Amino acid sequence: MPVKKNSGNKKKEWRRIATEEAFSIPEVAKALRDVARSPSNSQDMILVSRIYDAPDEKSGGGLLPRLLDFEEMRLRDMDETGTTMHLLSLTAPGVQMFDADTATELTALANDRLAEVISRHPTRFAGLASFAPQSPKRAAKEMERAIKKLKLNGFVVNSHTNSEYFDDRKFWPALEAAEALDACIYIHPRAASDGMAAAFRLYGLDSAQWGYGMETSTHAVRMIVSGVFDHFPKLKICLGHMGEAVHFWLWRLDYMNRNAQNRGVAPKLKLKPSEYFKRNFVITTSGQESHLALDFSIKALGAENVLWAIDYPYQPSAPAVAFMDSAPISDADKEKIYHGNAERVFHIKA
Ligand code: 1WB
Ligand code: MN
């Protein structure tokens, strides 16, 4: 599809598909406001109270109106910054702080709304379906509906569910469904699980500053070293924020995981941790605008495994576009990162 030209700007225009772009719906926002007013020790309460129980529209950084909007501020922002498409995902913590029935119901509603807005703007929006890990069998059914009937493009999950991770077999019906549907699961951050949260209670470390990345990288590593990918060799996982830095660790993970296997504290695996990461994962650049980190990621994983993202509305679009436009990489790699990889991994029409 033709990309809107910036007038008077001779810069090369790219087809830009942004792959970690957040939305919500009023029903989920209201349920999160109820969570904010309930007793909970979850570290997510800091964010949930700030955004969903704010005294007026402008507090909480004015994020809620932008999360609930598709056709006004969002499309205007996309037009102004030359962003061709948002791959939308229900924003963190998604439905994962609700009871199983509420979570299951709200995923169906959110997925329906998502499909509806995509059908109105099929060249501007694609979407990741949510599912409720609290009820893995029902989640698997909704996942099948989301891909086969609603034609959504993959899945999003916001890291732990009640402080439990996908190495736990109770969640495997959802992983099995994703693999069978050839649909990638984007593991988006949320605040740290109860067991790791204490160290992040000061200095705003609960947040995207640090805690989110530690939580999500830990989730990915638990999946790898527990043997999830020996059971689901075709399962695809996407990590944002430049892979949550997992690929920086691959040499040490390989070395120390072998020690852990030899001591009998980690299961024997068919492959090395680094080999699963390269086979089963892709990463995005969401909210991590460092050319040095991008260069390392391309060298470590190959340009075909790196996708562009903004992290709208939590980070501004123009710098994310400028970051990728100015990246010192070949045009061929830029085409992959801006759109080709997203089209392949998330089955988006080229
Ligand atoms: C923020 C960033 C909030 C992310 C989020 O809530 C997510 C923030 C769901 O900066 O406040 C993110 O994905 O980086
Ligand atoms: Mn995000």
Report the pLDDT averaged over residues 120-130.
98
d(CA 98, CA 111): 17
Q: Is 311 among the residues known to form the active site?
A: yes
Instruction: Give the residue, 7 or 300, on which the prediction is more confident.
Output: 300
Helix axes 45-52, 26-36, angle to 10 degrees: 120
Q: Whose CA is closest to atom 6 on ligand 1?
A: 92
| Ligand 1 surroundings by CB, under 6 angstroms | 47, 91-92, 189, 207-208, 287, 311, 314
Which residue among 35, 212, 238 has the greatest number of ligand 1 atoms within 8 angstroms of its CB, and so is best to mutate?
212
Closest CA to 342 of 300, 310, 317: 310
Give residue 210 CA to ligand 2 midpoint distance, Å. Answer: 13
Ligand 1 geometric centre to CA of 314 (Å): 5
**Confidence at residue 9, expressed as pLDDT on a 0 to 100 scale:** 52
- Which residues crowd ion ligand 2, with CB under 5 Å? 20, 311
Confidence of residue 3 (pLDDT cuts 50, 70, 90): low
Model confidence, pTM: 0.96
What is the torsion angle, in degrees rounded to the nearest 10, for the CA atoms of residue 297, residue 281, residue 194 and residue 93? 100
Instruction: Please determine, for residue 4, whether its predicted confidence score (pLDDT) is greater than 70.
Output: no
In this prediction, residue 55 carries a pLDDT of: 87
Mutate to test the pocket of ligand 1, among 314, 315, 317 (most ligand atoms within 8 A of CB): 314
- CA-nearest residue, atom 14 of ligand 1: 208
Q: Identify the helix (H) or strand (E) that includes residue 226.
A: helix 211-226
Q: Which of 95, 128, 156, 311 to mutate to test the pocket of ligand 1 (most atoms within 8 A of CB)?
A: 311
For residues 243 and 291, the answer to whether their CB atoms sit within 8 Å is no
Ligand closest to 61 (CA) is 1
pLDDT band for position 279 (cuts 50, 70, 90)? very high
CB under 8 Å to 94, separation ≥6 — which residues?
28, 130, 156, 157, 158, 188, 190
pLDDT bucket at 255, cuts 50 / 70 / 90: very high
Instruction: Name the active-site residue from 69, 311, 325, 333.
Output: 311
Q: Which residues pair with 282 in a beta bridge?
A: 238
Question: How many A from CA of 214 to the centre of ligand 2?
Answer: 14
Q: What is the CA radius of gyration of the chain?
A: 19
Ligand 1 nearest-atom number relative to CA 190 = 9
Q: What is the 99 CA–ligand 1 centroid distance (Å)?
A: 23
Atom of ligand 1 nearest to the CA of 209: 10
| CA–CA dist 337, 339 (Å, integer) | 6
Nearest ligand 1 atom to alpha carbon 311: 13
CA-nearest of 17, 160, 177 to 88 is 17
Q: Give the pLDDT score at 2.
A: 52
Nearest ligand 1 atom, CA 287? 14
pLDDT tens per residue across span 61-75: 899 999 999 999 999
